[in-house]
Amino acid sequence: MITVGLLGCGNIGHIIAKHQKSFSITAVYDQIEARADELAAASDARAYTDFTTFLSADFDIVVEAASVAAAQEYGEVILRSGRDFVVMSVGALSDTEFRERLVRTAKEMGKKIYVPSGAVMGLDNIKVGQISAIDTFLLRTTKSPASLSIRADVPTMIFSGKAHECIRDYPKNVNVSEALTLAAGHEVDVELWVDPDVDRNIHEIFIEGEFGDAYIRVRNIPSPENPATSYLAALSILTLLENLDNPLVIGT
């Protein structure tokens, strides 16, 4: 059974802990002791508030479910500790210098960096963009104004530009744009909208190229314990962990 060290003890960590089947969480890390202790009790793991001590524990893979800043701070040392690294806050990889350094370290150590599908679908086929020309590639994300602490009485576009620019301005809200960019090998254009009439985060993907064209629309149900978190994003990590040891690989 794969053993997991969990970096970040928030809502996603709790969802992962509730669904342990073919993997086991044995260590959890958070800077806030009460959060680490709570999740450790829920997952029958050991809690850590010192990262170096956390890395000295016995587990196979680190799952980051904390923040862009945490992924960038700890990513390289995780790989150098001999563990594979699951990055939930994929916006961290929009920093080209950091991403290239992380990939070089993974190659040097013979380790893998895993990026879950997160709050969207279709990344497997979007990877055709790595070998086939893409003419149009757009992500349109619509959220409630309250989720971004914005007042708006009508649908309003608050950002239009490239993925890396959107990640810079909204690092907690459009991680999916970097996941799409990495999958396609082609930076996605992003429109970020707020709409007072929506009660779910909506991601629309428009892609057209030599292969044809596709439109994907995902309406995410918020996590029951934290409306700011997409339940699908947490489920995508669970799916990845459940299939790491599966000899039958689908959709890659």
Per-residue pLDDT at 222: 78
Residue 250 lies in a domain: no
Structure tokens at 163: 């993925």
Residue 249 lies in a domain: no
Residue 228 lies in a domain: no
Residue 36 lies in a domain: yes
> How many CA atoms, within 13 angstroms, populate the side-chain half-sphere of residue 182?
22
**Which region among 68-72, 215-219, 229-233 has the lowest average model confidence (pLDDT)?**
229-233
- Note down the domain range covering 37: 2-118+233-243
Q: What is the mean pLDDT of residues 128-139?
A: 95
Q: Residue 105 sits in a domain of what CATH number? A: 3.40.50.720
pLDDT of 31 over the 90 cut: yes
Residues in the chain: 252
Q: Residue 128 sits in a domain of what CATH number? A: 3.30.360.10
57 is in an annotated binding site: no
Same domain for 71 and 174: no
Q: Which residues pair with 138 in a beta bridge?
A: 189, 206
User: What's the pLDDT tens digit per position in 172-221?
Assistant: 778 899 999 999 999 999 999 999 999 899 999 999 999 999 999 999 98
Residue 130 lies in a domain: yes
Residue 203 lies in a domain: yes
Same domain for 165 and 113: no
Same domain for 165 and 110: no
pLDDT of 139 over the 70 cut: yes
DSSP assignment letter at 242: H
Q: Give the active site residues.
A: 203
Band (pLDDT 50/70/90 cuts) for residue 252 is low
Band (pLDDT 50/70/90 cuts) for residue 167 is confident
Q: How far apart, in whole angstroms, are the C-alpha atoms of residue 138 and residue 205?
A: 6
Rounded to an integer, what is the distance from CA 233 to the centroid of its chain? Answer: 7
Same domain for 193 and 109: no
Q: How far apart, in whole angstroms, are the C-alpha atoms of residue 37 and residue 166?
A: 34
Band (pLDDT 50/70/90 cuts) for residue 227 is low
Per-residue pLDDT at 102: 98
Q: Name which residue leads in pLDDT, 22 or 155.
A: 155
Per-residue pLDDT at 21: 86
Question: pLDDT averaged over the chain?
Answer: 93
Q: Which residue has the tokens 């040392």?
A: 77
Same domain for 78 and 186: no
User: What's the pLDDT tens digit per position in 81-108?
Assistant: 999 999 999 999 999 999 999 999 999 9
Q: State the pTM of this model.
A: 0.91
The closest of 188, 187, 192 to 203, measured between CA atoms, is: 192
> How many CA atoms, within 13 angstroms, populate the side-chain half-sphere of residue 55?
15
119 is in an annotated binding site: yes
Same domain for 71 and 140: no
Total domains in the chain come to: 2
Band (pLDDT 50/70/90 cuts) for residue 228 is low
Q: How far apart, in whole angstroms, are the C-alpha atoms of residue 78 and residue 52?
A: 10
Same domain for 102 and 19: yes
Neighbours of 57 (CB within 10 A): 15
Structure tokens at 116: 């879950």
**Which region among 173-177, 213-217, 225-229, 237-241 has the lowest average model confidence (pLDDT)?**
225-229
pLDDT of 226 over the 80 cut: no
Residue 227 lies in a domain: no
